[in-house]
Each structure stands twice: as structure tokens, then as C-alpha cells.
Structure 1
């Protein structure tokens, strides 16, 4: 043994095998690290070949009830040490010593998500990241969910202080339907929203045991749109983790008063678990949090960014642009709240005034959730469990627009039966956004409409401009200012009783078209899946088979969703509609070359309603020339099927309808067949306006420039297809002190799903002549009620590719000091410029994290620092486009354990230098957050 290698004797002191009825025994003992005189709480002791296990308490002691006859084999493991097997064969033994070698904390981790079976993280066939209990405890992030941002290759998009969206390997979004998030293998998606609401209904901090995250495609194994990655949140089993735990966090943000006054954040959680007897156990968790959100206040003008040029050279600067479309002001949008006016012989684009986000909402965030689980063991390996979760959340969310979720409730029931060879699980998820949730954009537009209808407002603007122009000697900018003041005279003013009254009425009116802004989603799905491991029956190869069936139930709300049948049969308006998918897989794993080469192949078939079956294969190999060196390579094919929203959306956002791309939804409206690309409409209107301003008559200008209009040739939505290649290495070097994980990937997409902006004339058929067919260009120029505008869900015509690499290093050195670093690179390689829409890559080219800490700098005292940096990048979304500036932050924490009181105190903060930054265009400005957390955990690991 090398001099610096740490030999850790784990001594089972006071070992006793006490006889119970029917041959049962209790094995008791104590585990400690003799090299550092440290008791090892949290070590796992399990009976090999069964589910009987326990975890040592903080003082290293444990008790394990065993029901098998001797001899038995105990598997002893602890993060940072090499696992060891120990044979117990003598019921007269009084003490046994088991020696474990120290190793890098990452090397000994076991993961399940990569191949759906337990395996060493070193030998995973694909890239995988893991947060275990110790990593969560040591992270300076306020919660385990926030800590995901510091994992290699993970990009976090913060919609709200209580709503964060993780993504990997490009194409991020505020609703990430390409990323699958699970809790104990149960999909955590909100059906109508189409993605998880962060951790609003997930585990509490006290009940989380670990998080496994796979960057990149995993649909060949998991299906269901796991094309950008998955995360699986694993909770604590009540047989293993028993007793009472309490969590209290007090925090503060907005400390500089820049956007809001300094605000307190509070979070409380409680967990109680108990094994009633050797067969029955239960647990219950509850938590509540509240605080004040970050503020979205970007005043960048999107009018010019969208290619509009009418106001560019008419004697007014951008600062007084009468068509200003400010990002976080709503009701002033250039594509629906703007009209071209002829004023004193010149054409001007003029938009309505709108309201700032701060005028429309408060920034209170809340989350209350409860979950309960009941577990029953039929024997040492067969177990059944039932879990119920319910969460209610209030925060800000964004899809096409910013949305206030006020009382959104998600409920989930999950039932599972499993043993060492199989599992069957069924679950049901239901959401209800409640009566108080609303969409900011129709709220602002309809407050303006409640004051004055748009035709009257533009008429008043014209009169006000003409009067002011004559009075001030032709000062154009001053005339526009006076015209707006005249048209807005008597407008509802934020902070007044009249404004609050009309706002409240619109929020609680379910009609976005003209009078309301209420968000009502009442969707659900049920899901059943199973898996069987044939390894005990088929020797020499590990063979898995499995399958699932899912059915969505959608209640039409008239805004987000309608029953597509209503387009042909109005009597079906209130009928629920359904959407199903099912699939199955087979996976085989074989070790050859003296177990140095592990080969894995899987084949999955998925079928979704309205589409033909799709086949997803995966081939992977792991070559291990030595135990500590592992090289991996994989290829997989994946499909992403349209989400509910992408297929069935029917959202009127202030005159622009976001329309699902399925033929059953879009077909009756004839949009794909008869519309112009919006980019060509903008170019056409710019050219016509320039001609009119130069003295050309309107009709002549339209006729001269109509050749600029381009008819859409896009079609109904199809599944998105991905081919993904990956190479990687995992290893432990430098006498087990340095952990290295590196990977390179290349992805090739067909039929990439995105949104296309089109304009449809209200009458006529594009490309034909006679009657109204000759007027399509005139309708398009007139805009307003002469056209219908759509954001269509469809597929890109380009082949799109992206590539990148990630590297992570973790080094343990002097007296338990640890330094970690990871670097991620991502690049959009190719997309054809001729495509009408560019897939939103929305990902920094470079991201990096560096951490430094010591979990036991002094007795019971640890600390950790994390530096995060990411490059600037271009963001594209329905709300706004633009550059997200580069930023870097520093997070820190120090913790102290009061051993006798079974309490840990953590003091820390994220972005402790309080450098405000945004993670996407139109998102909130994120400042410093500072907290103190107390965790009481008296009975962990019974």
C-alpha cells in the first residue's frame, strides 16, 4: 500500500446476532474511519441479494434486521470509499473489522438511469452526472434543484425564483419539452404546460437522496421525448431513512433596493418516516415557501430588431419611436398592436402604449406541497408502494408570453410493484391552473381596449398629431408625443382604484380575444409502464424488456386549447379530447474480453396518435483496460413527438394565434395552404410605405411591390428526428485522487420542431386570380381585421446539426480539500439560410464552473465556493430576440454540525457579489440571494 493511501478500517464493534422468531436476527454495530477518528454516518449496509438495508447514524451506529438464514453477505459502501463485501456466517461473532480503501468521491457512485439497471458510474455507456446526499449538503445553492446548474454541461434558465428550467446540449427554452424530468422514475411533467413546473410538486429537500442527470438523447431507452436529456430525482425509502427531520431556511434578496425593497424568503419542510414492522413503512413530507420574485424589466425596443423600417428615417429617433415594442411592456406589440398611419403625407407605424410588467403583477412567489408514501414488503425482495403528491405554486412563467401562475395545482398518484427482476408502475397526473392565473399580454391589451377601442384610439392619435404638428411648427417628434398624450387621455393609470377594478375583471374573464386574460388549464394523463430483467433466466447476457402506454385527457379552455372537433362541429366545444402514445423496448448487455468490454444494444418502438410508429436504436460500448479507466462510445437514434401544446394549441395572443401543427387542429383553417411568410410581409410593407412616403399612390405601390410576398410552403407537424453520436472517458488517476470525465457529441436533426410566423389574408387564394384572389396583397398591407396572423408549430426544412464537448475534473488533496472544475462547449454547426425559421439554439458556446471546498475543515465544520461563468449568446423566442450578455457569479456556503443536537446550520449565498444578470431575453434580472438554513435530523438512517 502506498504511504498516502488511506486504509479505512470499518469496525463492526458490539456486533451481535440476536435471535428472533422464525430465525430472524438483528445485526448491530458501529462504523468509523480510524485513519481520521471520524465516525461515518450515512454509510450503507445492505444484505446482498435482497432489499434489506440500512444507513448508519451520525455516530456511525446501525442496526439491520435480517430474515435470511446464515450465512449472509453484507455489502458496505460509503461515498469516497471503495465498496466491500463481508460474509457473516457465525452467530457467535462479537466483532468484525472490514477495511475499505479511500477513493475519489465520484468513483464509487452507482447509477441507474443510464441503462435502467444499477451499474458503476465509471462504466456507464453514456455521459451521466450525479448529485448524492453529500454533494447536495456541500453545495452553496439554496436547494438541490438549484445545484443542478453547477453540473457539467447543464444550462439553467431562470423564469422565476421558484421556476427554473434545466437543459443540456443546446436548444434551450423556457418550456423545455425536450428534457424529461422524473421523480423515482415517474414523469413529473405538467400536462398542459408541456414541461415540469421546476420542483413545484417534487421532493422536499429532506426527502431527496440523489439526482441522476443524463445530458443528451435518451429516447432510445426512455422514449417520451427524452431527446435533450433526463433527470431522475430519487427519494428516500422509509425502511432505510426513518424518523423526524425538520428544515428551516430564511433568506433575503433585492438587498440593494434596485427593483424592489429588500425582501425576505422563507422555506419550511418536515419529514417523518417510520417502519411499523418488517413489512410495512410509511413517510410523509410537507413544505411551504414564500418570497419575492426577481423582476423582468427589459425596455429594449423590438420594433427595429424585427426588420420594421417605416419609422427609421422620418425625423424621429429610436428613443421616441411611436411604434416602440418594449420587451417587458405588453400591449404594444408590433405584430398585433401596431397600425400604419398616414400623417401629414408621410407613413408612420404607431403602436398602442401598453403596460409594464410591474404594472400588471405583484412578485410574490409561493409553493406549498405535501407527499405521502406507503411501502409494503411481501418478502425480502418483493415490494409495493403507493405515493401521492400535491403541490400548489404561485410564480411567474413564460411560454410565448409571460404568464402569472397563481395557485397552479398539480396532483399525482403513483403505484409501483417491484422486485430484483421487474417493476410495474402506474401513475396519474392532473393539473389545474386555478381561477387567478393570467397571461400578461392579453391583460395589457384588454385593459387598453376597455379604455378605448383601437380604431377610435388611432383616430384620436391622428387628430392629435395633426393639431400638434400645426401648433409646433412641424416638429415631428413633439407631434408624436402630443398625439399619444391626446389619445391616452383618460387611460387607466396603474395604482388607481379604476385600474385595479378593470384589471381584476379581465384577469377573471376567460376570453383572450377581446375581453379577458384568465389562464385555465385542466389537463391530465395516466401512464402505465413495466420492465423485466431476464438475467437470472438467461445466463451470460443481461436482457431487459419493457413498455408503456400513456393517455392525455384535455379539458378545452377556449384559449390555450380547444377540442379540434369544434372546428367542424360547434356542439363539441366543451367536450374533453384525448391523445395517446405507447411504446416498448428491448436492451441487451454483454461483457466480453475478460469483462473488459461491455456491449449494450437497445431497440425501442414508439407510436403516438396521428403518426406512424418510430424506431429508436442505441448501440454503446464501454472498454475498461483497467478498473479505473473506461472509454465509452455510443450511437442512438431518437424521435420527439409533438407535445399537447405543439399539436393542439389554439391561443389568441392579441391578434396573433399560436396554432398547433396537427392537421386535426390547423387543417380546417387552411393556414399552411394559404398564407405568406411574415418575414416577406414585413419586407413588402416596408417597400410600400417607402413608395407612399415618396409620393406613389398606395394602390400603385402595392401592385409594384407585391412580388416581395412569399407564400409559405411549410406543412403539418411531423415528429422531430435525431441521430446522436458520443465518445467519452471516465477514469480515476493520481492514486485515486483525480476523477476525470470527458465527452464529445455530435447531433444531426431532421424535422426540427419550431414556430413559423405567417399572415393569412381574410379572403382569396394566394396564387390564383379573379375576385378577392386579386386582393390578397391589399389585405396583407391593410393588416388589422383584413388578415389573420399565426405562429404555426411546424418543422424546419433544413438538416440541423450541433456539436460540443464537456470535461469535468475533481481532485481530492490535503486534509479533505477538494477542487472541481468543468467546462462545456456547444456549437450550432449548420442550418440552411434559406429556411424561414431558424431553430432556437439558445445556448452559450462556453460554460464553466469551478468549486473549492472542504467538508471537514475543522471538526463538524465545512465550506464550499463555486464560481460560474457563461458566454454571451443569441436568444430567439416568441416573446423577444437578442443577445444574452455573458456573466459570472460566485456562490459560497459554510456549515457547522451540532452533533449532540442532531442539527446542521448552513450560511451561504448565491451571486454573493450581487451582479445582476439575465439568463434569457425578456427574463428576470437575477441578483444576490443570501440565506441561513437549519436542518434537524434526529433519526436518519435507522
Structure 2
């Protein structure tokens, strides 16, 4: 496999060498751009060759210069936000050109790259695409550009914490979204041990963002595995076009009127700094730094949740002995009272046998006789004297020990038919848990840095060395809630790129730091204080005693808990904090801790060449290839790697051919082949067409395919969650065989639930149990076929319309199955990723408007997403509201130097299904707003704003925290 990849890269290098030689014959394009009205030079204006990425931007004197191999005549595009774009054909002299720009903007003129991996106007994109420019970023009514993605058409977010948000489009959202790719300067921003991006914890600072492009839907033909729901590409500013020192300081408050916690109003603060410089347009350097600190949103949902039925149930800790709060941890540990009594009974009979060397026959029969032969009082329990007399068959030394356990024997006998009083309840009981607020570190921090060195060999070939590093403390929701404490990711890249090619290699280094599982932590704090093997017998013994004393079931349950919990560690106490610190610092596994030890690394190499110039742009031809290794390393705390090394390698190659037919129609055909270590190779084709029905009005149609390999965790996870009540294992045959699930088969969750119901009714029926058989072919990659039609055009110079409709067909959809092994004795619960045999279909549409009138900019969009033909037995995790709506109005400068922006967002109620919890997410609406004052004399902007300014707390996904208002004031100096 590596030999194949070496050959592919060698061929690319040959092609690139040819391309670099060709670049030597280039011409220099230079000139000046000024404001037509004031005659002043305009810095930062983009000057590019139309249809190409080659170009430059003006300096502080309004001057630009760059080289190109384009043969005259060719067209230059000169564009700047707030001014009308100018196009001019260059046929002779290319030096000392002059351009004058007029105020005013024509919508839809932005140039995008990601839709086809080649520059094109956004109006001419063959697939749906959203874009935020660097100029637009300054006007966003959001605390950060990443938060503002939620206002784009068709985009939704799952907010697990202040700095951890998962972006999604077109359904099947998730807390950690493995169906959505995120790239920063060409680097996949996923945490390789998780296979999804950790929000923007390790990403770009606001001062360093040049543009953001978002592709809804599948894009595997050009970008490889993953991204079957969407792809986000973020590009940073280069040191040639954006030079100088800039900084931003932001301060604010949140937790205003937060009645779910006792925190009160909390401070929010953020500092961003950027420094960039180039010398002779040859050597360039930039560095950026960002630090955020705040008190995070708290998950405080204490509603009662049935984890077997996966639904809410009535009751609370006072009324339900088996209470399990959604954001309460440690109470997942649950036992049936009868089963515990039987275990105690069996253990003590075994103890008597051992102590008497088997000299006493029929021990169980003689113990049963205690209940039958004694003169039982009305309350159901014999007196202590009667009990002592009845134990006369035992040696005197054993009588006190056995007498302590008589309530268990008596309670079990009292459940038999014909007995006067039933003292023992066939009821599940859970341990007393701890609230998430007492377990998780909510002191959110995010520190991120990016430094890059740039060198231009000539005006078209550039070398880049880049290092992005970040660390943070946040909270993430998976199967449990995880405190990502001092979590770290580094990305390091070397790249050589030119007008028509790039070669890059990078590595992503993930370090879990002090991250821990909050559910396991709550469980082990309980166990450190009093093991469950002690706590449950104490509870049940006290319950039987209380029932024997005449108390009701509810009163006896409350008494039993109060007695079993005597001395329990209380949050804030020295004992609690010591136990918490100790367990959180020990690794998951034999050390009986809650801490992860993830040091997973990813290494990625890829290259691309655009042959279009070689064909004089008669056709567009792009080829590329990539290779990737995952080195999993968790010391057994996440993966099944306690005693071995796990490496996953993937490789692929792609090509795209495009052709224009006159001025009206363009068609592209693309395809990519990919192979992963554990799965068969896969081909993903794409066909697109764009028809220009009128100037600046285009209809697009596409057929795209996408796929994603099962994640690293889908393949190799081996982790106890839910306080140890469930084991997550990978779906590969080796994991299934490790736990003998092919020979000692597990039963389905639904059938186990039915069996428990029959047992609770006093007539356990094993015939209800249904065994699960795994697919002989094992776990397979998931794929989608996506059909889309759309329209984007200018109805008038000031009105831009964008609309699309799509239809998706998913095959081998990866879901999960919950199985119970040994269900009639000591049931062990497993959660295993499997493919759904039936095709899953979804469809949707979106419509958006951008309208400019005078100094005002209006926008609005709505999107609709629907799951169709839900297969029987499909675990529906579409997790997307049917309807979403956004509307906004703003002005870059409503009066001199003063602008504003207001954005309204609403989404419908929907059902959320995840491995953590399932339930209805209520509909919500929210307003974001900002006003800004530009101070040209000091090249600065002051912004006052807020997200959710009406402070109506809402949740984006079930089991996650409710989000309130964040009010902020920022000062930005940016020359």
C-alpha cells in the first residue's frame, strides 16, 4: 500500500516539477487602486486573474504587484467590500495599471474555491455553498465567527458547552459530529482519537480569519472520507496581504438571571493578538494568539430517565427508588432488591458451609423454617429472641453473624404465596448520585496559537511551515459527559504550493491532558466511600426492617436510603474533594480512575495538480492523491490498546474534469477512490451542471456521493461507561469475538425490557428474550447518494436569491445496538456499532434572500429537513428540526462611522436521540445584536453586542446545558 502511495506521489512530483519550470516564464502585473470619489488609495483590495487563485492585494499605498503565467489577453478582477467590483481585460502592458473603485456593492460576486477546488464566482458554483468574508466577519452579531455559522442557511449547531459546538447541515446531527468535516488551511481539524472536530478550541482566532466556506451535503469525491453531511473550510490570512500588528480585547458577562445554578453573573473575557510582516514580497512571517476565559454553561437537567427504555419517566429521587437523573451521575448503578437479597442469602449459606466444613445439612430449609415456624407478629418480623432461638441449629459462634442477615432470608420467604406480609419489594434501586455541577470543571479556558513562515521562490511558488497549537478546558457530551480539562491539540504542516498545484504534509497530535469521564467519576466517588457490595445490602436490610416495623413501601425506601447514605461524601467537603481529585487523576481501567490517557496522532500527506492551463483552459482537469495514518494510543482507557499498538492507514486518489459549452452551460465530472485498512475500497463519483439562464442567474444540478469509514472508536473502542453499567466495544469481528458475542449471544434491548417486565410481575418468561446475530460481513463504511437542484441569481442588482432542494439515500447507515449478555443471571450490557440493513432516506430544501436598500442590508433564510421512510427497528438519530428560520438587518455605516447588525433565529421542536440521552428539544427563538463605532484616527472599532440578548434560556440538544445571554464589549485595533 505504501509502495502504491509512493508511486502516486512520485508521479505528482514529476508533474509539479514540470509545472514549476513552466512558471518560470511569467509576467508581472502591477498597479494602483484608488477611491474614485476621494482619490485616496485603498489598502486591502483584492486583485486577481479572473477564474484563478493567482493575485495579490493592495498595500497601504493602494499598490499591488504579482506574477502570472497567463497569456494575454486575460481579465483582472478588482474587488473590495463596499465597492463595486471592476473587471478589466489586460491585453498588452501589465505594469502601472490604475483602477478607480466606486462605492456600492453588487451581491454574489465573491469568489469561492472549495466547491470545485478551483476559483469561481459564488453565483456559478455547481453545488450549494455559503461564504463569510473577512470584511463580513467584522459585522457579525456574534461573540465569534464560529458562533455566527449558526445564522447561515441550513446550518444548525449542537452546543455542549461555551467553546464546544458541533456544526451540521442536512440532518443526523450529533454532539460529536463525525458526518461533518472541518478544515483549517487545508488541515483536517478533527481530534484523531474522536474523529470529529472539537469545535474551535484549536482553530483560528477572529483576527486571523480571511474567509470561511461551507459546503452543505456530501463532498467525498473531492475531500475523501467523512463530510457526508457537510464540509467547513476556514482559511487564515497570509502575511503578504495582511501585515502589521493588531489586537482585540473583549469583555462581557453571562449567567444573567440563571436560576438553574447558584453561580450568579459571571465574567467573560477574551484577548486576540496578531502580528504579520513580509520582506520584499519574498519572506513572510505571522503569528497569532488567542485566550478566552469564562464560566461555562451548566447542564442541570435532573429529570428522571429510564436508560433501558431510553425515555423520560415520572418521579424524582424522593419518589422513585430507581431514580436516574439526566445530568446526575453515579445513580446509573442500579440493582434489583430481590437479586441482592438472593446474593446475600447464597453468600451466607456458602459461608456457613465453609465455617462448619459442611457438617450442617439443609441449611436453606432450616433458615426458611425461621419464618414458617415462629409465631410471627402482625408486622411480619419475629422478635430478636425468637430469631435467636430458631438459630439453635448453628454453632454459638456463628449465630450473631447469621442473625444479622436474617432479614434477607425472611424478606425472600415473605414473597412466597400464602405468606401474611410481603416484606421485600421486587424493585430496582439506584445509588444516590452527584449533580454534574459538582463533578465537572466549568472554568472554561481556551488558548490557541498559530505561527507560520512563508517563502516565495517566485511570484507563483510558495513554501509554508505552519504550527497551530491549542489547549482548553471545556465539556463534551458523548455516551457520557466528559470534562475536557487542559485538553491539547497541535497541528504542524509543511506545504509547497503554486498557481496550479500544492503538496502538503501535516500531523495532528491529540493529548487528552486531564480530561475525565464525569459519569465514571460520580460512580467511583460513591465506590471509594462505600462499595456497592456493601451499600445495596445495607439499603435492603434496612428496607425489610422498616417494612417489618409497619412502614409503607415509600417510607421504608426513604429510611433505607437515609441509613445506607450515612457518612456519604458531600460536595465541598474535604473528603469529597480529596476523593474527586484522586479519582480524576487516575486512568480508566485497572487503576479505577476516570481519566483518559489519549495520545492519538494522525499523519496526512496529499498533493493536487490543476492541468487546466496546460490545456489552455479548454477543459479543466484536476488530479490529486492522499495518504493517512492514525496511530491510536490510549493505554486501554478508550481503545482496545492496553497490550498492543493500533495503526489505521487510508489512501485515495481523485480526478475532476470540467468543460464549458459556450457561455450557457458548464459540466464537471469527478471521482475518487479510497481504501482503508479494515474495509474494502470505495469509489465516490460526482456529476454537476450549471446552466446560465440569464446574466447572473444560474440553475445548478448535481449528483454527489459521500461515504465515511467507521470512526476509530467505531472500530476499536473498549470502554465502560454509564458508571460501568455499559461497555462500548468496536464493531470489528475481533471485538465481537473478544466478548464471545457470536457464541454467547446477547439479547436485544427491547426483548430484555419485556423480560424484566415479566419478572416484575412475578412470572419471569425467558421465551421473550430475542438473541441478536451480527452480520457475517462485519462493520462496513456508511455511504450516501445525494441529488440536488438549486438556483442562485440576482433578481435585481440589490436582490440575491438562493434556493435548493435535495434528496439523500443512505446505505449501510452506522447506528448502534444495545445487547444484554447472560440476561437471566448477571446481565452485562454492551453497545456496539452496526450497519442498518435498510436504506435510510431524507430530503429537504432551503431558501435564502439577501437584499440591499440604501445603507441597509436585509437577509433571511429558511430550511426544511425531513427523514423519510423510517425503517423498522432503526434507531432514529436524525436529530434535526424540520424547520429553521433566520432573519437579519444591518448597516455597515448607517451614519458616519456607526454600524449595526441584528439577527433573529428560530427553530422548531424536534426529537433528539443520542447514546447519552433521548428526548424532545423544545422550539426556541433568539436575537443576536451588535452596534459598532469605527474610530479611523486610531484604526480601531468598538463593538457592543450580545448573543441571545433577550436572555431566554434554551437548549440545542437533549441532555446538554441551557444557553443564556452573553453580553460583550470589544475593542479592536486593526490597521
Q: Which residue does 1:428 correspond to in 2?
A: 507
| 8 A Cα contact 2:308 2:753, kept in partner | no
Q: Does 1:662 align with 2:661?
A: no
Q: Which residue does 1:390 correspond to in 2?
A: 469
Change (3 A) 1:496 1:92: closer
Q: Does 1:589 align with 2:669?
A: no
Which residue of the other structure, out of 766, 772, 776, is the alignment partner of 1:712? Answer: 772
Mapped to 2, the partners of 1:907 and 1:844 lie a distance apart of: 31
Mapped to 1, the partners of 2:26 and 2:801 lie a distance apart of: 47
Q: Does 1:686 align with 2:687?
A: no
Q: Which residue does 1:221 correspond to in 2?
A: 222
| 8 A Cα contact 1:340 1:350, kept in partner | no
Mapped to 2, the partners of 1:119 and 1:308 lie a distance apart of: 49
Spell out the pairing of 1:148-547 with structure 2 (5 A cutoff). Answer: 148-258=149-259, 259=261, 260-303=263-306, 306=309, 320-333=319-332, 344-434=423-513, 436-471=514-549, 473-512=550-589, 515-539=592-616, 540-547=618-625
Q: Encode CA deviations 1:731-783: one digit per residue, 9 max, x unaligned.
A: 1112x11111101011111111122100112xxxxxxxxxxxxxxxxxx134x
Mapped to 2, the partners of 1:369 and 1:933 lie a distance apart of: 19
Change (3 A) 1:189 1:463: same
| 8 A Cα contact 1:52 1:380, kept in partner | no
SS at match of 1:747: strand
Q: Which residue does 1:775 correspond to in 2?
A: none
Mapped to 1, the partners of 2:742 and 2:235 lie a distance apart of: 44
| 8 A Cα contact 1:239 1:274, kept in partner | yes
Spell out the pairing of 1:15-164 with structure 2 (5 A cutoff). Answer: 29-32=32-35, 34=37, 42-46=44-48, 51-55=54-58, 57=60, 61-65=61-65, 74-79=76-81, 81-85=84-88, 87=90, 96=98, 98=100, 102-105=104-107, 107-164=108-165
Which residue of the other structure, out of 787, 791, 794, is the alignment partner of 1:725? Answer: 787
**Further displaced range: 659-668 or 717-726:** 659-668
| 8 A Cα contact 1:104 1:739, kept in partner | no
Q: Which residue does 2:9 correspond to in 1?
A: none
SS at match of 1:469: helix
Mapped to 1, the partners of 2:890 and 2:611 lie a distance apart of: 44
**Further displaced range: 328-337 or 908-917:** 328-337
Q: Encode CA deviations 1:890-914: one digit per residue, 9 max, x unaligned.
A: 1100011100101111110000010
Change (3 A) 1:713 1:339: farther
Q: Does 1:746 align with 2:746?
A: no
| 8 A Cα contact 2:911 2:920, kept in partner | yes
Shift of 1:852: 0.7
Spell out the pairing of 1:766-805 with structure 2 (5 A cutoff). Answer: 780-782=823-825, 786-805=826-845
Spell out the pairing of 1:781-930 with structure 2 (5 A cutoff). Answer: 781-782=824-825, 786-814=826-854, 816-833=855-872, 835=873, 837-930=874-967
Mapped to 1, the partners of 2:206 and 2:600 lie a distance apart of: 28
Change (3 A) 1:131 1:585: same
Query: Between Structure 1 and Structure 2, how many residues are aligned?
Result: 859
| 8 A Cα contact 2:35 2:100, kept in partner | no
**Further displaced range: 530-539 or 839-848:** 530-539
| 8 A Cα contact 1:847 1:869, kept in partner | yes
Change (3 A) 1:340 1:884: farther
| 8 A Cα contact 2:691 2:699, kept in partner | yes
SS at match of 2:735: helix
Change (3 A) 1:727 1:500: same
Q: Does 1:578 align with 2:581?
A: no
Q: Which residue does 1:568 correspond to in 2?
A: none
Change (3 A) 1:99 1:276: closer
Mapped to 2, the partners of 1:488 and 1:394 lie a distance apart of: 32
Q: Encode CA deviations 1:64-116: one digit per residue, 9 max, x unaligned.
A: 245789999753112353342264966997x94546694443x1011111111
Change (3 A) 1:513 1:169: farther
Change (3 A) 1:318 1:459: closer
Shift of 1:799: 1.4
Mapped to 2, the partners of 1:891 and 1:452 lie a distance apart of: 49
**Further displaced range: 148-157 or 647-656:** 647-656
SS at match of 2:759: helix
Shift of 1:925: 1.0
SS at match of 1:160: coil
| 8 A Cα contact 1:336 1:656, kept in partner | no
Shift of 1:655: 3.0
Spell out the pairing of 1:546-561 with structure 2 (5 A cutoff). Answer: 546-561=624-639
Q: Does 1:647 align with 2:715?
A: yes
| 8 A Cα contact 2:610 2:621, kept in partner | yes
Change (3 A) 1:307 1:437: closer
| 8 A Cα contact 1:308 1:682, kept in partner | no
SS at match of 1:430: strand
Q: Which residue does 2:746 correspond to in 1?
A: 675
**Further displaced range: 79-88 or 281-290:** 79-88
Work out which of the two has the higher radius of gyration on C-alpha atoms and give 1 or 2: 2
Change (3 A) 1:484 1:849: same
**Further displaced range: 848-857 or 632-641:** 632-641
Q: Does 1:755 align with 2:795?
A: no
Q: Encode CA deviations 1:836-890: one digit per residue, 9 max, x unaligned.
A: x413111111111100111110111100000000111101111111000100001
Mapped to 1, the partners of 2:583 and 2:68 lie a distance apart of: 66
| 8 A Cα contact 1:23 1:67, kept in partner | yes
Q: Which residue does 2:369 correspond to in 1?
A: none
Mapped to 2, the partners of 1:170 and 1:137 lie a distance apart of: 30
- TM-score, normalising length: structure 1: 0.87
SS at match of 2:145: coil
Q: Encode CA deviations 1:610-653: one digit per residue, 9 max, x unaligned.
A: 11111101111111122211101111222210111111110111
| 8 A Cα contact 1:339 1:351, kept in partner | no
Shift of 1:470: 3.5
Q: Encode CA deviations 1:313-371: one digit per residue, 9 max, x unaligned.
A: xxx98961111111000111267899866762431111111111011123100011111
Change (3 A) 1:102 1:40: same
| 8 A Cα contact 2:287 2:451, kept in partner | yes
Shift of 1:797: 2.2
Change (3 A) 1:811 1:40: farther
Shift of 1:137: 1.0
Shift of 1:575: 3.7
| 8 A Cα contact 1:282 1:375, kept in partner | yes
Mapped to 2, the partners of 1:748 and 1:52 lie a distance apart of: 41
SS at match of 1:442: helix
Q: Encode CA deviations 1:165-211: one digit per residue, 9 max, x unaligned.
A: 10000001111111000011211111112111111221111110110
Q: Which residue does 1:18 correspond to in 2?
A: none
| 8 A Cα contact 2:337 2:426, kept in partner | no
SS at match of 1:459: helix
Change (3 A) 1:25 1:530: closer
| 8 A Cα contact 1:83 1:100, kept in partner | no
